[in-house]
Structure 1
């Protein structure tokens, strides 16, 4: 009985020592932007304003160290700043090409920031992007990024996956690209692939979808696609879900199997949506197209010595004599990829699958 009383007493004392933050007496940072100019880090932080007419406000600061940006931010603030609700981070292309080592190190040491926070690269000025976020509702940018990962062509990624890719062996980091059109609207437009800590390769939106199909789980293997058919007529379809597998048993070969369920949305007039022969022909064309596009992308990865798919990680998990340097310099550049694509067409109640 005395033991239980002691435990309750300790819990009471600990709860009494816990620091309490009152919602309207703190600044809750929702989005962070990072840029670099020479040896100086430049940052923008948007936070919710509960006592002002504006929904979001922006703080801008500079520092000589990455973590040191909180010093000038605190000097600008009349209230305690907290980062536990940061849901998105925006880094400039210049920052990404210089190094993300400080970013990864800070995320690893920060016990407060969420592992689900999304991170994107932008070619625009980060301060411009951050200023534009003030015109939208709170968390709009993070919601837009997550929506594109769930339903669009953007592969799934977040702070947790970035750390796994950066500090893990046999894989490279990739992050979505954020663009702003002439009307000031944000859009996700491709993916940036890193070699070690530096941005090395930019992928367009279609290549980003191919990367997503090879990396994402079945539930998020979704997207929209448009390509030119045999008569150079556009064909548009939605990817509903899919399943993929990668086999890397031998040093010099990788077998990739991809099965996708799609829904046709727009067809040329020359293709009948009720003709089985037309749909089987279209199915074959789409399979060949995906196989060709994925193969070309994998060759591009080899040429640029990047491995966002994580073939090295797959090989390492099955081979005890793994040597990362040897794999990168000798094995990976000489791998021959075999890509097998299978398409199941679901259209107006008619299913055309493998024969």
Structure 2
């Protein structure tokens, strides 16, 4: 009797499976894969956004390069734009390969646009490890660039931002999940690399700094490199040092930074930043003997300390904190009043930078 009851239950389950719909699944040949996304402001400003999706179009054979197609749409929301773009393509739009998101400088400068970043994190089919960037002159212009070395759509950006290809201290890649974290976490502010579109190549050597809603400050090339050093994201670089009439270039092999916040009542609050560098002489305008290396080490220490202090004061005046000084303060002070106290401290806190440079090799044989 029990066997008969079990058989009936199994039959009911099998019959119920016949009524399940499988329309949610699409074969790969019925999908259109997005590799990069661009968000601009329309020129006529009739709508809030100009959303551009760059699709990968597979080549007819393994030996032929893949092509791409860009479809754009104006709308008052990103969701609306995507749904209208669906009416312009013949396949289901798939965002699972969208690894690069580009916002135009005009978009990120506008106040009240912070909510658009959350659209990307709310969509379950967009990877949270996608890179977010600022595009110049527009996001669409960045999507249109096709370097001659690129055989897969947007692969040049994937290699540059992922540092799987070119390695440089001027690139500050930022993931989508990190952008969202910095938007909501008190004590640390968002940061995005700036991609400049040229005729047939990209230039990525600057960075934009945000408060909790919009772009506040753009850093130049050397300042971008120092931000990478302060975040301990890069060690290999080149530092120019001038002593008298001699200019030398230090090829750094190791860079380490650390800091500590001092808020004792006896002294004015200050942040002590320690910078440690070691490397070799890569270039010099004059011959530098080994006996004089210590002189150039001291000259490098003075110049590095001065440049770092200048950058930190610049961030302070712009009221942005991409390093996370406020987050460090919060980790040691837990009351709400302490956070309000930090907001009063940061605009007036003093930075003291101590640099140590070691030149391991002059690059010549005496």
TM-score, with normalisation over the residues of structure 2?
0.82
**Please, which of 297, 302, 306 is the counterpart of residue 288 of structure 1?**
302
Corresponding residue SS for 1:248: strand
Q: Deviations over 1:268-293 (max 9, x none)?
A: 22423xx1x32211111222111111
Q: Deviations over 1:123-166 (max 9, x none)?
A: 31222221114863332112112228954322342112111111
Rate the CA distance shift 1:156–1:122 in 2: closer, same or farther, 3 A: closer
**Mapping 1:159-198, distance limit 5 Å:** 159-181=176-198, 183-198=199-214
**Mapping 1:222-261, distance limit 5 Å:** 222-250=235-263, 252-261=269-278
Corresponding residue SS for 1:29: strand
Paired residue total: 333
Which runs of no fewer than 5 residues in structure 1 stay unpaired? 1-5, 351-355
Would you say the 8 A contact 1:155–1:215 is kept in 2?
A: no
CA shift, 1:316, in A, is 0.3
**Please, which of 320, 344, 364 is the counterpart of residue 330 of structure 1?**
344
Would you say the 8 A contact 1:123–1:178 is kept in 2?
A: yes
Q: Distance in 1 between matches of 2:239 and 2:251?
A: 9
**Mapping 1:259-270, distance limit 5 Å:** 259-270=276-287
**Pair 1:208 & 2:220 matched:** no
Structure 1 ranges of 4+ moved more than 6 A: 15-18
Asked which structure has the greater CA Rg, the reply is 2
Which runs of no fewer than 5 residues in structure 2 stay unpaired? 1-9
* Equivalent residue, structure 2, for 1:353: none
CA shift, 1:27, in A, is 0.9
Deviates most, 18-27 or 313-322 = 18-27
**Mapping 1:1-355, distance limit 5 Å:** 19-37=24-42, 38=45, 39-50=47-58, 54-99=66-111, 100-133=113-146, 136-138=150-152, 139-147=155-163, 151-181=168-198, 183-216=199-232, 220-250=233-263, 252-272=269-289, 275=290, 277-323=291-337, 326-327=340-341, 329-347=343-361
Rate the CA distance shift 1:348–1:18 in 2: closer, same or farther, 3 A: farther
Give the aligned CA root-mean-square deviation in angstroms: 2.9
Rate the CA distance shift 1:51–1:78 in 2: closer, same or farther, 3 A: farther
